[in-house]
Amino acid sequence: MPPRSGNPATRARQSRPKKPAPAGTLTFKGATYKLDSKMGIWPLLQFARAAESGLTTVDAKGLAAIHAFLQDVIDPEDWGRFQEDMISKKVDDIAELMNAAQQAANKLMDAQGNGEAKVEIVSSTTDKA
């Protein structure tokens, strides 16, 4: 076995990945929620695919895609409180909620250095009420 080089008491330092700085907050219906530090693309892609295939905000798959998108944007520490607030406040305006989520997603993209890309959620005129 070859001899070790250097001081045997010296240990290599392992760097830990640093969590990105928080992107900010989302205020909706009078309450403020922390945004997650990073946004993944998959929930946004699911939402886009649901919209492209003709699903609306009243279809189960469309609503599930919106839910996944919101869960990805809101900090996990605030997700439970956000859900409880949406239930207790009986939020019924999906367009208003999606507008707030769009703004939050754009804040996150700016914080991630994707400032050129923007999320734009366009409501279909064929959505059923």
Q: Say if residues 76 and 3 touch (Cβ distance below 8 Å).
A: no
The one-character DSSP state at 17 is P
pLDDT tens per residue, range 68-79: 889 999 999 999
pLDDT tens per residue, range 70-121: 999 999 999 999 999 999 999 998 888 888 878 888 888 787 776 555 555 5
Does the model's pTM come out above 0.75? no
pLDDT tens per residue, range 30-46: 999 999 988 888 887 88
